[in-house]
Amino acid sequence: MTMRILLFIGFLLPWFTLFFAKPDTIRRFMPVTIFTCLLMTIIFQIAYTYDWWEIHEYIVPWGYMIDVSFAYGVFAVGTFWIFRFTSHRFPLYILINFIMDAFMCFAALPLLNVLGIANYKNIAPWQYLLVIFGLSFIIYFYHKWQEKVFVPSVD
């Protein structure tokens, strides 16, 4: 039960940080956040099919396939904040993403194994790093494409 509470916190708490963002900033970076959720859902479906990992604790009935607290909580809102602070400088964006992705693959996910929440199965941490780091390029170019649609309001 304690792990489920941690998973709920990991899902909900990141969203509360958006209260510190301006409404225009939220409108600007929410499309890439939602796109990231879509891509993470696809990645989790692929992972389920190829048995990349096992999820033992989850907060929704379909949680054995997708870690909702990660994909729609920490990762989604983390993407928002990374874009908020680095989207204007591609090298910085790539560096921060690589550091965060490496932390996730080599520290956070092994910790989930220790806590009994999830564990790697048919994928090595470095392979998962390639997957999510590759994702950062896709979402960056999506964001740059989407920015052409975004027009700041002139008041």
Q: In this predicted model, what pLDDT tens digit does every residue of 68-112 receive, in sequence order? A: 999 999 999 999 999 999 989 999 999 999 999 999 999 998 998
Flag whether pLDDT at 16 surpasses 80. yes
CA distances from 9 to 65, 82, 126 (A): 19, 20, 27
Please name which of 46, 57, 48 lies closest in space to residue 113, comparing C-alpha atoms: 57
Sequence-separated (6 or more) residues with CB below 8 Å from residue 36: 75, 76, 79, 135, 139
8 Å CB contact between 44 and 66: yes
CA separation for the pair 7, 56 (Å, rounded): 12
pLDDT at 154: 59
What is the pLDDT confidence band of residue 2, given thresholds at 50, 70 and 90? confident
Q: What is the pLDDT of residue 61?
A: 86
pLDDT value at 153 more than 80: no
Specify the pTM.
Answer: 0.88
Q: Which pair of structure tokens corresponds to residue 150?
A: 């975004």
Q: What is the pLDDT of residue 155?
A: 53
What pLDDT shows up at residue 74? Answer: 92
Q: To the nearest 10°, the Cα dihedral for 68, 145, 31, 38? A: -20
Interval 108-145: pLDDT, tens = 989 989 988 899 999 999 999 999 999 999 999 999 99
pLDDT band (50, 70, 90) for residue 148: confident
What is the model's pLDDT at position 64? Answer: 84
Over 80: is that where the pLDDT of 47 sits?
A: yes
In terms of C-beta density within 10 A (0-12 exposed, 13-18 middle, 19 or more buried), how is residue 146 classed?
Answer: middle
Place of tokens 């396939």: 65
